[in-house]
Amino acid sequence: MKKRIVVALGGNAILTNNPSAQGQQKALADTAYYLADFVEAGHELIITHGNGPQVGNLLLQQQLGATLQNPAMPLDTAVAMTQGSIGYWLENALVDELKKRGISKLATTILTQVVVSEEDPAFQSPSKPIGPFLSAEEADQESEKTGAVFKEDAGRGYRKVVPSPKPIDIVEYPVIQQLVESGVVTIAGGGGGIPVVIRNGQYKGIEAVIDKDFASEKIAALVHADMLVILTGVDHVCINYNEPNQKDLTKVTVMEIENYIQQNQFAPGSMLPKVEAAIAFIKENPRGKAVITSLENIKNLLLEETGTIITA
């Protein structure tokens, strides 16, 4: 039975240990191999993705080369630029993979604006890491030069942090819906979307980065998706992680997983946003399913519905 599925790619699906264009294209070709299974199974597919490392690297490159005659672009524009570059690589990789399977399919990328509120408390407390990991000394030097805020991230160094407001609306969602209904594989919401606010009836870009899982959830709800698949580095969400009594969650209800949140089972900067986005999708679309699993588990998900599957 054909389903409309939104798949949110994690960072490793785009960037591994080689940040060059060729390295990222290779990673996306590997990713397309798995994503093509959704299309081959006859489903309508919308793909979203992150861009944290890419947009951070782009900002650093621009700052290093900025002059009065050639100034660096603001963050919202950098998000748009990386939406375009990653989308370009991904749509070509996916079309190429489908051709290998004898499937003729169009794919396209939609530059996606995501509406946020200027009153969102996130603007008072920047928290979303972007860009490369720096040493404490490098972070201090960069902060002195640019005024950026840096925080320690996962014991791997310091990264620039920016506000991460919650999405309110997706400007282009009617176009996304029309494309997917026409049979086009649609890449949208890249990097969580371009953050915009409404001022005097006009969309204005703002200095922020939107969590791609929350943006993906909003897209999935607005286009009436049957399933939201949030990809991460593991096949299942776990409770009692790294403890002797660690347990994989397979099929779980919203009420059950909310109880696990109350028990602080999920790390705030890692699994928690994915779980919260999955819950939000089910609450907006009670007949749908939200799945958290790995890229490599897609075939098993399609055949046996394995992974962490959250329902109302």
Q: Which of 10, 274, 288, 307 is catalytic?
A: 274
Q: Which of 56, 131, 191, 212 is catalytic?
A: 212
Q: Which of 51, 52, 87, 128 is catalytic?
A: 128
Q: Is 299 an active-site residue?
A: no
DSSP state of 112: -
What is the token pair recorded at 33? 């191999």
Q: Is 51 an active-site residue?
A: no
Element (H, E) at 179: helix 173-181
Distances (CA, A) of 7 to 1, 97, 136, 188, 212: 18, 17, 36, 10, 11
Nearest CA to 113 out of 193, 177, 186, 179 is that of 193
Q: Is 274 an active-site residue?
A: yes
Q: Which of 11, 192, 193, 288 is catalytic?
A: 11
Q: Is 247 an active-site residue?
A: no
Angle (CA) 192 230 98, round 5°: 90
Q: Is 11 an active-site residue?
A: yes
| Contact indicator for 161, 129 with CB cutoff of 8 Å | yes
Element counts in the chain: helices (H) and strands (E): 9, 17
The set of residues, in sequence order, having a beta carbon less than 8 Å from that of 69 and lying 6+ positions away, is none
Distances (CA, A) of 301 to 108, 117, 227, 292: 25, 36, 12, 10
- Any idea which residues carry the catalytic annotation? 11-12, 128, 212, 274
